[in-house]
């Protein structure tokens, strides 16, 4: 019973207390803000601020804020310790670590050093400048004590006469980055008093300072300095950087022909890992054109999409890309100390791993070659991309550390320098649809992802020099082919090679030694001697043009020649087979007789034509005509020279050609043994009766002999026939 009473009393007291406090709370909150809602709003606001850095702006005067807010400006008449009275110090004081300060226009600091004691990003906007227009140049301009980033700004000590102000001093226990700036006209550009973190100096133009570009002091810090991808030259005389044995300074440009070991002291450097040309300055903003790029499995482009990188296998990694530009010889890396002039169709780039030894499997590097129309036409010609030969694609690289290349080598060729193992080139190709060249850099060929990608410049380009070949011909001459070519203007040409192939598409091989250049408007000749296996084939010839640096500029051609089997030379021989051979001068036989003793036969003699008519002593009036295609014999005893001189030859015989037959115009009379009428002649100018006849057929001696016996038999037969007929008539007259 007692326990039950106790529980009942407890419940009554609890209910009364709740009613009392409820009434008190309602009366207390009446007329005031809801504190719970306010606390919740503050909680979410702070969380949002922690996730998104706050950005503020700094300008010299309110008129220079340009509508950007919040904007901190300098306070007139106030110049105190740590930069009191400056808009920059006010912004640093108002911000939290991780926030951003953007400098607008040309910002003027005051006499005292501005303390930046929070981990902030101090950055420029456009071509922003931090400078000074006072006369007290004894204090540094900016002092970083808590890490941070200083980027995209030009900083200069302004109008100081005599000693200038140090531009930046660092005394920081955490990392600090100074990137993409122009630091000039100061005393020391960067003065590290002490640092426990890493001080990274990259992508800066550090020139024209009175003392060191960077000086690492002997403070108690255990940090290090990392200096890379900067233009650092023309500061103090001699050494530019002192690392105090606390850092490295590879991949910088120290000035024309200046080595890293000369430009630094107490730094880890390699003379094989310097930049061979200045990095191109940014346009209308501070710093230089260099960046760090993460390589992924898709192409990422930089510098107006003129260079792109990706990987085919492995994981992501960081790469540094440096742009040297093009257009003047000072932009050609290592010119005169390893490389030669070259016609650039892209900018010159240095590409190297951000962390040496990083686990990078491969790199696909793509360069545009569309600098101008001449580059596009030349690169896509059959000399380069049109050859479908990886070793001819005009993407070039140079090895300044190990001399693996002979000056500029193509990435697809076997390196032509100090290559005792005959290591191969890398797969190189053309993407003509995008006007780009691509090379796959792996761990096998050269340039190699681990062996060379720490100091390697690249470019897409063409060998320097030109030769205008105006004409080119090739012609077969018996067992050799003669080639001739004529040039117009020759510029930086050492000579030519003759190339030959068995098909128009190649491959073409050199068949000549170097044919030294003569000069503009020259004519060149080369003879290709053929051997027995070269006949009845097509050969194609090209002229390879070599510049004064030994590089192939281009080829000209081809010219096609079809060889033939040489015709053998025969010695003419006389055979008994009837042959008609033309002789320049015909010498007739002096006398032709029909037998040992010539008997008078009734002939009509026509000389010197090849026609004659034998007549027999038949009593009939119609003569028997026999072959008339043998040469007429010359019967010396019957020629009356006096009558010959007075006669005119018959025109129908003058118009005949050798081998034709002339038809007599009348029937010659039978006059006995001697024909007193003058025979028809073809030439009466020779008083010795030795006519000269051109293109006349040579008499066939064998045929003349055969005809002699034929005529003898015919004549004998005819005579026997006449005797038989006479005998028959006498027998019939006397006995019948």
More confidently predicted of 535 and 169: 169
The model's pLDDT over 22-38, given as tens digits with 9 standing for 90+, comes to: 433 434 444 444 454 45
Does residue 234 contact residue 260 with C-beta atoms inside 8 Å? no
Residue whose C-alpha is closest to residue 233's, from 179, 189, 180, 178: 189
pLDDT band for 159, please (50, 70, 90 cuts): confident
Question: Quick one: CA dihedral 445, 451, 453, 457, positive or negative?
Answer: negative
Q: How large is the average pLDDT for residues 287-309?
A: 97
Q: Which residues is 352 bridged to in the sheet?
A: 320
| pLDDT for 690 beyond 80 | no
Residue whose C-alpha is closest to residue 125's, from 95, 94, 104: 104
pLDDT at 41: 53
Residue whose C-alpha is closest to residue 635's, from 663, 605, 612, 670: 605
pLDDT at 688: 41
pLDDT at 582: 46
More confidently predicted of 3 and 431: 431
Nearest-5° angle of CA 38, CA 44, CA 49?
120
pLDDT band for 576, please (50, 70, 90 cuts): low
pLDDT at 421: 87
| pLDDT for 265 beyond 90 | yes
Does residue 625 contact residue 605 with C-beta atoms inside 8 Å? no
172-181, 427-436, 518-527, 609-618: which has the minimum mean pLDDT? 609-618
Q: Which residues contact 106 (CB under 8 A, 6 or more apart)?
A: 60, 128, 129, 131
| pLDDT for 646 beyond 70 | no
- What does the alpha-carbon distance between residue 619 and residue 623 come to, in Å, rounded to a whole number? 10
Which DSSP string corresponds to 545-602?
EEETTS-EEEEEEEEEEE--PPPPPPPP---SS------SS----S---SSSSPPP--
- What does the alpha-carbon distance between residue 323 and residue 203 come to, in Å, rounded to a whole number? 11
Number of alpha carbons in the 13 Å side-chain half-sphere of residue 722: 11
| pLDDT for 579 beyond 70 | no
CA 580 distance to own-chain centroid: 65
pLDDT band for 709, please (50, 70, 90 cuts): low
pLDDT at 465: 81
Does residue 112 contact residue 137 with C-beta atoms inside 8 Å? no
Distances (CA, A) of 388 to 380, 383, 385, 440: 10, 9, 6, 16
- What does the alpha-carbon distance between residue 707 and residue 713 come to, in Å, rounded to a whole number? 10
CA 683 distance to own-chain centroid: 77
Share of the chain above pLDDT 90, in %: 57
More confidently predicted of 606 and 491: 491
- What does the alpha-carbon distance between residue 516 and residue 539 come to, in Å, rounded to a whole number? 24
Residue whose C-alpha is closest to residue 268's, from 281, 294, 252, 250: 250
| pLDDT for 186 beyond 90 | yes
Q: Is 449 exposed, middle or buried (0-12, 13-18, 19+ CB in 10 A)?
A: buried
Q: Which residues contact 725 (CB under 8 A, 6 or more apart)?
A: none
What share of residues in the chain are helix, strand, coil (percent, to 5)? 20, 30, 55
Q: Provide the phi-psi class of 180: left if phi over 0, else alpha when psi is between -120 and 50, else beta.
A: left
The CATH H-level superfamily of 471-562 is: Immunoglobulins (2.60.40.10)
108-122, 278-292, 668-682: which has the minimum mean pLDDT? 668-682
Does residue 541 contact residue 552 with C-beta atoms inside 8 Å? no
Classified as helix, coil or strand, 651 is helix
CATH number of 48-287: 2.160.20
| pLDDT for 422 beyond 60 | yes
Q: Which residues is 475 bridged to in the sheet?
A: 482
pLDDT at 359: 87
Does residue 553 contact residue 466 with C-beta atoms inside 8 Å? yes
Helix/strand/coil (H, E, C) string of 424-480? Answer: CCCCEEEECCCCEEEEEECCCCCCCCCCCCCCEEEEEEEECCEEEEEEEEEEEECCE
- What does the alpha-carbon distance between residue 364 and residue 298 come to, in Å, rounded to a whole number? 10
| pLDDT for 364 beyond 60 | yes
pLDDT band for 729, please (50, 70, 90 cuts): confident
Q: How large is the average pLDDT for residues 560-570?
A: 68
In the predicted model, what is the mean pLDDT of the chain? 79
pLDDT at 532: 84
Q: Cα-flanking dihedrals φ and ψ of residue 206, to 5°?
A: -120, 95
pLDDT at 631: 45
The model's pLDDT over 485-516, given as tens digits with 9 standing for 90+, comes to: 999 989 889 999 999 999 998 889 999 999 99
pLDDT at 220: 66
Distances (CA, A) of 570 to 478, 530, 564: 16, 22, 18
Q: How large is the average pLDDT for residues 151-165?
A: 92
pLDDT band for 51, please (50, 70, 90 cuts): low
More confidently predicted of 680 and 508: 508
The model's pLDDT over 91-105, given as tens digits with 9 standing for 90+, comes to: 999 999 999 999 999
More confidently predicted of 593 and 237: 237
**E strand or H helix that includes residue 148:** strand 148-151
Q: Which residues contact 258 (CB under 8 A, 6 or more apart)?
A: 233
pLDDT at 736: 55
| pLDDT for 522 beyond 60 | yes
- What does the alpha-carbon distance between residue 195 and residue 146 come to, in Å, rounded to a whole number? 10
Other Cβ atoms less than 10 A from the Cβ of 309: the count is: 20
| pLDDT for 89 beyond 90 | yes
51-55, 288-292, 713-717: which has the minimum mean pLDDT? 713-717
pLDDT at 630: 40
Residue whose C-alpha is closest to residue 175's, from 226, 229, 242, 124: 226
More confidently predicted of 610 and 719: 719
Q: How large is the average pLDDT for residues 190-218?
A: 95
- What does the alpha-carbon distance between residue 287 and residue 153 come to, in Å, rounded to a whole number? 8
Number of alpha carbons in the 13 Å side-chain half-sphere of residue 278: 18
- What does the alpha-carbon distance between residue 497 and residue 517 come to, in Å, rounded to a whole number? 11
């Amino acid at each position: 019973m007692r326990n039950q009473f106790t529980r009942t009393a407890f419940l009554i007291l609890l209910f009364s207390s709740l009613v009392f406090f409820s009434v008190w709370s309602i009366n207390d909150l009446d007329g005031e803000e809801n504190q719970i809602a306010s606390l919740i709003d503050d909680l979410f606001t702070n969380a949002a601020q922690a996730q998104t850095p706050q950005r503020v702006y700094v300008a010299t005067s309110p008129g220079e804020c340009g509508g950007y807010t919040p904007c901190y400006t300098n306070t007139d008449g106030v110049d105190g310790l740590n930069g009191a009275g400056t808009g920059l110090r006010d912004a640093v004081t108002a911000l939290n670590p991780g926030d951003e300060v953007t400098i607008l226009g040309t910002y003027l600091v005051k006499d005292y050093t501005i303390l930046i004691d929070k981990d902030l990003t101090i950055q420029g906007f456009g071509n922003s400048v931090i400078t000074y227009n006072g006369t007290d140049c004894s204090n540094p301009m900016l002092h970083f004590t808590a890490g941070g980033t200083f980027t995209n700004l030009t900083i200069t000590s302004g109008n100081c006469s005599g000693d200038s102000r140090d531009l930046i001093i660092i005394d920081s226990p955490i990392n600090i980055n100074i990137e993409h700036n122009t630091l000039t006209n100061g005393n020391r550009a960067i003065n590290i008093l002490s640092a426990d973190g890493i001080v990274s100096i990259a992508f800066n133009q550090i020139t024209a300072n009175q003392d060191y570009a960077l000086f690492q002091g002997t403070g108690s810090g255990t940090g290090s300095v990392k200096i890379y991808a900067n233009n650092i030259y023309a500061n103090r005389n001699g050494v530019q950087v002192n690392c105090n044995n606390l850092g490295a300074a590879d991949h910088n440009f120290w000035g024309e022909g200046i080595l890293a070991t000369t430009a630094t002291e107490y730094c880890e450097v390699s003379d094989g890992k310097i930049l061979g040309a200045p990095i191109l300055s940014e346009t209308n903003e501070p710093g230089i054109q260099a960046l760090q790029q993460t390589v992924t499995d898709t192409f990422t482009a930089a510098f107006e999409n003129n260079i792109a990188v990706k990987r085919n296998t492995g994981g992501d990694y960081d790469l540094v890309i440096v742009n040297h530009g093009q257009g003047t010889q000072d932009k050609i890396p290592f010119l005169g100390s390893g490389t030669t002039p070259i016609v650039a169709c892209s900018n010159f780039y240095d590409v190297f791993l951000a962390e040496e030894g990083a686990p990078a499997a491969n790199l696909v590097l793509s360069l545009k070659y569309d600098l101008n129309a001449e580059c596009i036409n030349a690169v896509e010609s059959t000399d380069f991309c049109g050859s479908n030969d990886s070793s001819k694609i005009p993407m070039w690289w140079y090895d300044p550390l190990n001399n693996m290349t002979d000056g500029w080598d193509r990435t697809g060729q076997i390196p032509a320098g100090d290559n005792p193992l005959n290591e191969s080139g890398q797969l190189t190709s053309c993407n003509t649809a995008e006007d780009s060249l691509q090379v796959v850099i792996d761990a096998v060929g050269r340039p190699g992802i681990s062996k060379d990608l720490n100091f390697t410049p690249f470019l897409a380009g063409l060998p320097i020099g030109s030769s205008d070949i105006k004409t080119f011909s090739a012609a077969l001459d018996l067992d050799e082919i003669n080639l001739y070519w004529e040039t117009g203007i020759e510029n930086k040409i050492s000579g030519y090679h003759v190339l030959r192939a068995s098909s128009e598409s190649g491959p073409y091989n050199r068949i000549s030694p170097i044919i030294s250049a003569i000069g503009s408007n020259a004519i060149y000749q080369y003879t290709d001697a053929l051997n027995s296996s070269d006949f009845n084939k097509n050969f194609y010839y090209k002229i390879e043009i070599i510049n004064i640096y030994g590089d192939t500029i281009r080829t000209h051609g081809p010219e096609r020649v079809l060889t033939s089997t040489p015709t053998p030379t025969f010695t003419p021989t006389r055979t008994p087979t009837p042959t008609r051979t033309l002789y320049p001068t015909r010498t007739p036989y002096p006398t032709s007789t029909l037998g040992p003793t010539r008997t008078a036969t009734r002939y009509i003699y026509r000389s010197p034509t090849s026609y004659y008519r034998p007549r027999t002593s038949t009593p009939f009036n119609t003569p028997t005509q026999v072959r008339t295609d043998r040469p007429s014999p010359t019967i010396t005893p019957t020629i009356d020279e006096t009558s010959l001189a007075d006669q005119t030859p018959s025109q129908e015989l003058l118009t005949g050609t050798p081998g034709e037959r002339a038809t007599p115009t009348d029937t010659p009379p039978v006059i006995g043994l001697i024909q007193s009428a003058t025979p028809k002649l073809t030439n009466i100018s020779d008083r010795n009766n030795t006519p000269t006849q051109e293109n006349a057929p040579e008499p066939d001696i064998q045929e003349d002999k055969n005809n002699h016996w034929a005529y003898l038999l015919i004549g004998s037969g005819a005579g026997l026939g006449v005797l038989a007929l006479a005998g028959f008539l006498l027998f019939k007259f006397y006995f019948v």
